[in-house]
Amino acid sequence: MMTTTETTTDGSWLGSLVDFVVSLMDVIGPYGAGIAIAAENLFPPLPSEAILPMAGLAASRGSFALWEAILWTTVGSIVGALVLYGIGAWFGLERLRRIADRLPLMKVEDVDRTVAWFHRHGGAAVFFGRFIPIFRSLISIPAGVVHMPLWRFVLFTGAGSLIWNTIFILVGWYLGEAWHIVEQYMDVFQNIVIAVVIVAVAWFVVARIRALRAENRAD
């Protein structure tokens, strides 16, 4: 029987990395899928859009049960997110304020406003962040910085991850070798997210420079 990893090789460094991580599923079954997704949380270039369908494909071939794939990938998502949450909690809000105070174009008030927003919408941010490339991992760090109650963080992370993981595992389960079709659309979605982030950062920089110039003229 063809192994799971035989379907992922594309010759690129990322393809090789995915091959290595996903090969855990051939060795230790659904626990390997959980480890792979935990690694994806810590190293965002690892695409869950490739790993999760492979777990579904392996389940469809009888390597392990479908519910095991969903369960252990969700556990892996929570474990990886908790590591990043811990990093954010260790870094702390006061340290972040000190850094913002030293950075050009940044103000301590920017951090305070972000923290206030996160206190109001943190649960929704963590939940819906699980559906957005890049932010899927990064959203755990500010949650730790503001010391979001751990039970809420685990609850919203687990709920969002369960939905996301189930969708892509079922893609691999039903589409089999044709799961790459969905990956192409996800690549487009990820590029859109990156473009939006770049535009938002550029807008912030331009707006802040204009504000500083206006302040200097007023002085």
- C-alpha torsion sign, points 140, 142, 143, 145: positive
pLDDT in tens, 157-176: 999 999 999 998 998 888 86
Question: What is the average pLDDT value for the chain, to the nearest integer?
Answer: 79
Long-range contacts (CB closer than 8 Å, 24 or more residues apart) made by 114-120: 114/142, 115/145, 115/146, 118/142, 118/143, 118/146, 118/148, 119/146
Q: Are 39 and 21 in contact (CB under 8 A)?
A: yes
Contacts (Cβ under 8 Å, ≥6 apart) of 90: 144
pLDDT at 203 over 70: yes
Q: Which two tokens stand for residue 95?
A: 């340290």
pLDDT at 8 over 80: no
This prediction's pTM: 0.77
pLDDT in tens, 113-172: 878 888 888 899 999 988 887 778 888 888 998 899 999 999 999 999 999 999 989 988
